[in-house]
Structure 1
Amino acid sequence: MHTVYIGTAGWSISSAAASHFPLDGSHLQRYAQVLDCVEINSSFYRPHQGATYARWADSVPAHFRFSVKLPRSITHERRLRDGEAELDRFASEVGELGNKLGCVLVQLPPSLRFEADVAFDFLTALRQRFDGMLACEARHPSWFEQGATELLTMQRITRVRADPPAGQPGPHVPTTDIAYVRLHGSPRIYYSDYPADYLATLAAELHASAQTDSWCIFDNTAAGAALFNALDLQARMT
């Protein structure tokens, strides 16, 4: 059977949402008793020791999965060039999640154009280190053209379906059978709550993709909307 993983960026539980989660345990332990995945964004800003990832993995149930964001030192500072040593370090660290590593997320800067040779070398190096799910959220229009689509497809890397869809000139074109939906909040990014009709439509779309796994991450965390939207969508999927 397929799984629809629904979660948020980070596992902080606000006081407003606390009644929806168990009282005992760390925030991660409480979160993981209700939702079945989380996106680790802090890895984008700073490395975490392997022991930290191992502790997080031990804190959650067997079915729970983590999506971990690739460091910005690779994507934004090196801009995908000459980052193999940093990829090795990152792979070693997140490898401590074991089979609870569900996805590695690559978010590219809006200014980063698709350069075929650079992208090929980087994605090849990334795929050599991770055999599991990889997802890419590109935000420059050139990453939605045919050459980029073909490369992502060849390397089995899921194109993120984002809202709002930065850089995307037309309808979403998937590159794998697995969906990764990343909802930042619209119209006000990181803040806006998603209304009931939007979530109902999204639930129907996720139900329709029943033949494959899919992910939906709410990143509209700034005012606490993400947890409520995730819980609402989860209820609609049952």
Structure 2
Amino acid sequence: MAERYIGTSGFSYPHWEKGVFYPRGLAKDKQLEYYSQYFQTVELNNPFYRLPAAKNFQRWSQGTPANFIFSVKVSRYITHVKKLKDCRQAWQSFISRAVKLKEKLGPILFQLPPGWPVNVQRLEDFLKILSGSFPARKAPGPPKKYLPQSRPAALKRKLLFNYQYVFEFRHSSWFSPEVYQLLKKYKAALCLADSAQWPYREELTANFVYLRLHGSRALYSSNYTNKELENWAGQIKKWAKAKDVYVYFNNDACGNAIKNAQKLKKYLNA
């Protein structure tokens, strides 16, 4: 059985305070520590809007348990402004900071705009940058303190020598055999995104699965029913027979993401 990581897209929302999830009076700089008591992963979405300083990534890494994993959503400057074109420098600026997460750096998410149709050549040119512009973890080996024994050996090797890339397409033209083959060639995952607005396609193109749950009836807000969560749990168990699975709830309204993530974990452990 591979690993199953269940969490939320982001962890700091004003409407999660005052008892919705975080206890009243909890300082903002203690929220991630509190969150990590309930979940072993989070999808960092604030880098999409503004690239944090390297020291912030380092602080997040130091403030979470040894087996915690951060997925990171890449800057919209790369995905929405440049649309993957001529952004080698922007990419290196991003990854040089994200690596401060060290062994806790998990999948790196590229969320492309819904109004941008397929451009296969642009995608391949960018994938070439990802595969060769910045050295993956090829050092002789990190200190032992970076290899917590609780983690499977296969996962340790994966984190030491590879970055995991994920692409979330929101224009239907991207869902084609040509794009799938390209993702497979570069070992990048197609994001499986469930939402009330964008297409869902289930094509596994990498050695891991990445699922985002945006809200099946109302974008970013609707609560997943018990039946829906049971169905997702069954599917996740099937995927996890052979691949690590990362699942992030992005329906943050009313704390639904937290509630759904906690309930999904219960179904998976049943």
Matches within 5 A, 1:58-137: 58-128=62-132, 129=134, 131-137=162-168
Determine the C-alpha separation between the residues in 1 that align with 2:96 and 2:57. 10
Match of 2:54 in 1: 50
Determine the C-alpha separation between the residues in 1 that align with 2:171 and 2:101. 31
* One-letter amino acid of the structure 2 residue matched with residue 108 of structure 1: L
Alignment pair present for 1:208 and 2:238: yes
SS in 2 for 1:216: strand
Cα deviation digits, residues 83-139 of structure 1 (max 9, x gap)? 011001001010100010011000000122222221111111123335321111011
SS in 2 for 1:152: helix
Determine the C-alpha separation between the residues in 2 that align with 1:176 and 1:165. 25
Q: Are the aligned partners of 1:29 and 1:60 in contact in 2 as well (CA < 8 Å)?
A: yes
Q: After TM superposition, which residue ranges in structure 1, 4 or more long, deviate above 4 angstroms? A: none
Match of 2:7 in 1: 7
Match of 1:140 in 2: 171
Determine the C-alpha separation between the residues in 2 that align with 1:154 and 1:53. 30
* One-letter amino acid of the structure 2 residue matched with residue 125 of structure 1: I
TM normalised by structure 1 equals 0.92
Determine the C-alpha separation between the residues in 2 that align with 1:125 and 1:201. 38
Cα deviation digits, residues 199-233 of structure 1 (max 9, x gap)? 01111111122222101100000221000000001
* One-letter amino acid of the structure 2 residue matched with residue 63 of structure 1: N
Alignment pair present for 1:176 and 2:180: no
SS in 2 for 1:38: strand
Determine the C-alpha separation between the residues in 1 that align with 2:22 and 2:224. 20
Q: Are the aligned partners of 2:20 and 2:254 in contact in 1 as well (CA < 8 Å)?
A: no
Match of 1:232 in 2: 263
Aligned length: 235
Determine the C-alpha separation between the residues in 1 that align with 2:121 and 2:196. 25
Which stretch of structure 1 is more off in the superposition, 220-229 or 8-17? Answer: 8-17
Match of 1:41 in 2: 45
Unpaired runs of at least 5, structure 1: none
Cα deviation digits, residues 154-185 of structure 1 (max 9, x gap)? 111110111127553x7522212311110001
**Percent of paired sites with the same residue:** 33
Q: Are the aligned partners of 2:196 and 2:216 in contact in 1 as well (CA < 8 Å)?
A: no
Match of 2:154 in 1: none
* One-letter amino acid of the structure 1 residue matched with residue 250 of structure 2: D
SS in 1 for 2:224: coil
Q: Are the aligned partners of 2:47 and 2:75 in contact in 1 as well (CA < 8 Å)?
A: yes
C-alpha distance 45-155 of structure 1, shift in aligned 2 (>3 A): same
Q: Are the aligned partners of 1:140 and 1:166 in contact in 2 as well (CA < 8 Å)?
A: no
SS in 2 for 1:7: strand
Determine the C-alpha separation between the residues in 2 that align with 1:121 and 1:42. 26
Q: Are the aligned partners of 1:142 and 1:148 in contact in 2 as well (CA < 8 Å)?
A: no
C-alpha distance 53-9 of structure 1, shift in aligned 2 (>3 A): same
